[in-house]
Amino acid sequence: MSHNVPNRNWSYPTAIKFGVGRIAELAEHCQTAGIKRPLLVTDKALASLPITKGALDVLDAAGLGRAVFSEVDPNPNERNMADGIAAYNAGAHDGVVCFGGGSALDLGKMIALMAGQSPKLSVWDLEDVDDWYTRADADKIAPIIAVPTTAGTGSEVGRAGVLTNSATHKKKIIFHPKLMPAITICDPALTVGMPKFITAGTGMDALAHCLEAYCSPFYHPMSQGIALEGMRLVFENLPRVYADPNDLDARAHMMSAAAMGAVAFQKGLGAIHSLSHPVGAVYGTHHGTTNAVVMPMVLDFNRKEIAARIKAAADYLGIKGGFKGFRQKIMDLRAELGIPANLTAMGVKPADLDMLTEMALEDPSCGGNPVKMTKRNTRKLFDACM
């Protein structure tokens, strides 16, 4: 029989322990994953905060120690990874607790991936290309527990991590099926202390994941539905949590939306991410905020291919005006959250646009964009974002 439904490879997340106060279960879940000497990987800002101390207290009370590695840059690189591996091996650790935002989660995954591998294997040999992941010894990958403290990247339910090459300033997606955390603890109370600009940027990152997945031309109806509902949660709850950081209901919905965005984007990403990745790598900008800056311009770029689909989303979301109304909703949300108007406001220099264009076209995200990205139209898109 003939048909038009393509073959696709689908994967959905791990065990998620969701709810306020569930960080108290951290030691229990480490033990379930077979971790007796965890290394908690977090970032410099989080390392001294009460939520981190509380997590370490839970581990310590169960006899699992309180080892921490926190030398994590906002856009983590292979040097951070090497330092983390040294700490992991020096402490004879047997698992990683990734605790924090996307940077800490991604770097923690890289440490778990590479600490036991042969010195001859480079992390760049495991980029998400074809079946490169098979080059790693899967039995040497340490178990991972993920504890997000932001609501944006969704790395807690993903099988990859983003690592910046410090020499080339290029971000690479490193993939292995065993990078999926064994257990994820989603405790909305951990996100309460986020600064407002981080709440805004990470929330817009979740929206970008849902939006790009929804617009991707690839066939994945499960992710399509998740992306649509994820957008609804962001539109309804991000303004609430930005206005009132202690709104735990809105915090919980945003944490759900973040995980949903990461599940959905296995359907594909696009120009939002292929532009923001090189900008973040070169200029050190916050990833989610950069996504928010280029989002309206990318909508315009893709309009001829996505207008009908966006109208359907707008109808579901209760947004009047079809594509124009949806775009205006994005603009209004950006203004409410204090997102910079353009890349110029983020410090991007016109002289770097040719270089950034080349980097964007090398980014794997561009392959999922509804409009084929070329050197010419991508350069024009960067101009529009300035």
Is 6 within the bounds of a domain?
no
166 and 206 fall within a common domain: no
User: Is 9 a member of any domain?
Assistant: no
Amino acid identity, residue 76? P
The answer to whether residue 3 sits within a structural domain is: no
Do 349 and 218 lie in a common domain?
yes
CA dist 44 and 250 (Å) reads: 26
Residues 292 and 187 in one domain: no
Please give the pLDDT value at position 376. 98
Is residue 274 a contact partner of residue 369, using CB atoms and an 8 Å limit?
yes
Supply the pLDDT for residue 189: 93
Residue ranges making up the domain that contains 113: 15-191
Domain boundary among 191, 217, 240: 191
Contacts of 278 (CB under 8 A, 6+ apart): 169, 170, 171, 355, 356, 359, 360, 363
Same domain, 114 and 207: no
pLDDT at 255: 93
Token digits of residue 116: 């036991």
Return the pLDDT at 161: 94
Contacts of 238 (CB under 8 A, 6+ apart): 199, 200, 203, 204, 207, 250, 254, 333, 337
| Confidence at residue 357, expressed as pLDDT on a 0 to 100 scale | 98
Q: 201 and 329 share a domain?
A: yes
DSSP state, residue 41 = E
Task: State how many domains the chain has.
Answer: 2
CB 185 within 8 A of CB 17: yes
Together in a domain, 72 and 166: yes
Residues 74 and 179 both lie in one domain: yes
In a domain, 381, yes or no: yes
Query: Measured between alpha carbons, how far is 38 from 142 in angstroms, rounded to an integer?
Result: 10
Q: By CB neighbour count within 10 A (0-12 exposed, 13-18 middle, 19+ buried), where does 226 fall?
A: buried
**Statement to judge: residues 184 and 210 lie in one domain:** no
pLDDT in the model for residue 211: 98
Query: Residue 14: what pLDDT?
Result: 87
Q: In 12-148, which ranges are continuous DSSP H helix?
A: 26-32, 44-47, 50-61, 78-90, 102-114
Classify strands 38-41 and 68-69 as parallel, antiparallel or unpaired.
Answer: parallel
What would the pLDDT profile of 36-46 be if each residue is shown by its tens digit? 999 999 999 99
Identify which of 181, 206, 186 has the alpha carbon closest to the alpha carbon of residue 18: 186
Task: List pLDDT tens digits, range 159-205.
Answer: 999 999 999 888 899 999 999 999 999 999 999 988 999 999 999 99
- At 69 the three-state DSSP class reads strand
Q: What is the pLDDT along the chain (386 residues), one digit of tens a residue?
A: 555 666 665 556 888 999 999 999 999 999 999 999 999 999 999 999 999 999 999 999 999 999 999 999 988 999 999 999 999 999 999 999 999 999 999 999 999 999 999 999 999 999 999 999 999 999 999 999 999 999 988 999 999 999 999 998 888 999 999 999 999 999 999 999 889 999 999 999 999 999 999 999 999 999 999 999 999 999 999 999 999 999 999 999 999 999 999 999 999 999 999 999 999 999 999 999 999 999 999 999 999 999 999 999 999 999 999 999 999 999 999 999 999 999 999 999 999 999 999 999 999 899 999 999 999 999 999 999 99
pLDDT of residue 319: 97
Instruction: Please compute Rg for the chain using Cα positions.
Output: 20
Q: Output the pLDDT for position 169.
A: 85
**Residues 119-141: b if buried by 16+ CB within 10 A, e if exposed:** eeeebeebbbeeeebeebeeeeb
Q: Give the end of a domain, one of 191, 207, 225.
A: 191
Would you say residue 293 lies in a domain? yes
35 and 148 part of one domain: yes
Over 366-384, what HEC string results? HHHCCCCCCHHHHHHHHHH
- Domain boundary among the residues 191, 221, 246 is at 191
Identify the CATH number of the domain in which residue 316 sits. 1.20.1090.10
Q: Position of tokens 């924090």?
A: 100
Residue 6: what pLDDT? 64
pTM given for the model: 0.92
